[in-house]
């Protein structure tokens, strides 16, 4: 009897500890399909902005009409904040809510997105703005920020996609984007106008999903390489380059032929956020966001990502995976 009571108490004690020991898994979000992650650290919260795959199966193509937002304080528990932005919010856009990126500047949140233009052939980049990280967002310009007729040096009409904005320590913002040809331009302080010419970059086997971040003394430029895509990276001491190619950062993302990354630092840890087709019936057009740890070497290079099923340990709980196992 005593033993039974002791075991019951042990079970009770264990279940009381469960929230503390909560462990992530990959994919990190499983209640809906999420692709093309872009994360923003804002105080104690990480906001995760994603696309939403609606393809019925993986013989289909991308069916994407809106974007989603999730929030977390520990990188493990994600609150679904709904969909505060859709293609229909851009009157000049026709379809295709492809990859986007959100940054905060002067207390406002700017969401740069890929859409197909209604009147100008090809893909385009729009920008929406909000006073809150979870919206509502509204078209900040009433027209495209970048349209395909502004970049006429490729033969494809999908070269203007996957916007990513980097804001340097001096407050200067840069818009990066492109497919097959990586490009960047300065943004004015109002965040909705280019400030100067569009520059091209030279990156080996560049496909898309360009993303720029800074850590220590280095700028890092990550991007999808080849097809199916691996994530590669380059480093520089200056935002204007030259960029030194450093190799593969992430291997093929399982059964997804695209690979799209976001890299953040949150509470002294670094995270690599990407997508694969890891949910049941998942695949290249039914993708899901995953999160794994990212580690720098002492010389500033980045260790190759280890994609895991277990995901990351929670931030802030004070209970690491190792402690929990003991």
Cα 93 versus chain centre, distance: 22
Tokens of 120: 């100008």
Tell which positions 91-110 bind ligand FUB, by CB under 6 A: 98-99
Q: Which residues have CB under 8 Å from 200's CB, separation 6+?
A: 153, 181, 182, 183
Residue with smaller CB distance to ligand FUB, 139 or 162: 162
Q: How far is the CB of 124 from ligand FUB (least distance, A)?
A: 12
H or E element that contains 125: strand 123-130
Query: Are the CB atoms for 92 and 110 separated by under 8 Å?
Result: no
Rule CB under 6 A: choose which of 33, 35, 145, 173 binds ligand FUB. 35
Per-residue string for binding with ligand FUB, 232-271, x by CB under 6 A? --------------------------x-x-----------
Q: Does 62 bind ligand FUB (CB under 6 A)?
A: yes
Q: Does 311 bind ligand FUB (CB under 6 A)?
A: no
Query: Are the CB atoms for 152 and 142 separated by under 8 Å?
Result: no
Question: How do 85-86 and 93-95 pair as beta strands?
Answer: unpaired
Tell which positions 267-286 bind ligand FUB, by CB under 6 A: none
Q: Does 211 bind ligand FUB (CB under 6 A)?
A: no
Q: Which of 201, 196, 165 is nearest to 183 (CA)?
A: 201
Query: Are the CB atoms for 220 and 231 separated by under 8 Å?
Result: no
Residue with smaller CB distance to ligand FUB, 36 or 89: 36
Angle at 127 between CA 49 and CA 205, to 5 degrees: 70
Q: How far is the CB of 204 from ligand FUB (least distance, A)?
A: 18
Residue with smaller CB distance to ligand FUB, 120 or 253: 253
Q: How far is the CB of 154 from ligand FUB (least distance, A)?
A: 16
- Residue 150 φ then ψ, to 5°: -90, -15
Rule CB under 6 A: choose which of 74, 162, 292, 313 binds ligand FUB. 162
Q: Does 160 bind ligand FUB (CB under 6 A)?
A: no
Q: Does 51 bind ligand FUB (CB under 6 A)?
A: yes
Q: How far is the CB of 18 from ligand FUB (least distance, A)?
A: 35
Cα 91 versus chain centre, distance: 25
Query: Are the CB atoms for 62 and 55 separated by under 8 Å?
Result: yes
H or E element that contains 70: strand 66-72
Q: How far is the CB of 237 from ligand FUB (least distance, A)?
A: 27
Q: Does 158 bind ligand FUB (CB under 6 A)?
A: no
Tell me which DSSP letter residue 267 carries.
Answer: T
Q: Does 209 bind ligand FUB (CB under 6 A)?
A: yes
Residue with smaller CB distance to ligand FUB, 100 or 311: 100
What is the contact surface with ligand FUB in residues (CB under 6 A)? 35-36, 51, 62, 98-99, 114, 161-162, 208-209, 258, 260
């Amino acid at each position: 009897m005593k033993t039974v009571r002791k075991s019951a108490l042990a079970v009770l004690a264990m279940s009381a500890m469960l929230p503390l020991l909560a462990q992530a898994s990959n994919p990190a979000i499983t209640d809906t399909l999420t692709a093309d992650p872009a994360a923003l650290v804002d105080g104690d919260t990480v906001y995760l902005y994603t696309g939403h795959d609606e393809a019925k199966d993986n013989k289909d193509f991308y069916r994407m009409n809106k974007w989603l937002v999730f929030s977390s304080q520990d990188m493990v528990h994600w609150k679904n904040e709904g969909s505060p932005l859709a293609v229909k919010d851009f009157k000049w856009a026709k379809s295709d809510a492809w990859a986007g990126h959100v940054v905060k500047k002067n207390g406002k949140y700017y969401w740069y997105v890929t859409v197909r233009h209604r009147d100008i052939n090809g893909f385009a980049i729009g920008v929406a703005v909000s006073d809150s990280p979870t919206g509502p967002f509204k078209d900040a310009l009433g027209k495209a920020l970048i349209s395909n007729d502004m970049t006429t040096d490729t033969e494809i009409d999908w070269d203007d996609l996957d916007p990513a904005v980097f804001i340097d320590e001096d407050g200067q913002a840069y818009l990066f984007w492109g497919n097959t040809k990586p490009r960047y331009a300065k943004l004015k302080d109002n965040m909705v106008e280019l400030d100067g010419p569009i520059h091209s970059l030279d990156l080996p086997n560049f496909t898309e999903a360009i993303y720029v971040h800074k850590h220590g003394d280095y700028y890092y430029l990550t991007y999808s390489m080849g097809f199916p895509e691996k994530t590669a990276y380059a480093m520089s001491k200056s935002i204007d380059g030259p960029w030194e190619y450093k190799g593969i950062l992430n291997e093929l993302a399982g059964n997804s032929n695209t690979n799209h990354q976001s890299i953040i630092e949150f509470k002294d840890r670094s995270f690599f956020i990407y997508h694969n087709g890891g949910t049941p019936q998942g695949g290249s057009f039914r993708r899901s966001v995953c999160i794994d740890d990212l580690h720098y070497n002492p010389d500033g290079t980045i260790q190759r990502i280890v994609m895991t099923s277990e995901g990351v340990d929670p931030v802030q709980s004070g209970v690491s995976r190792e402690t929990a196992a003991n």
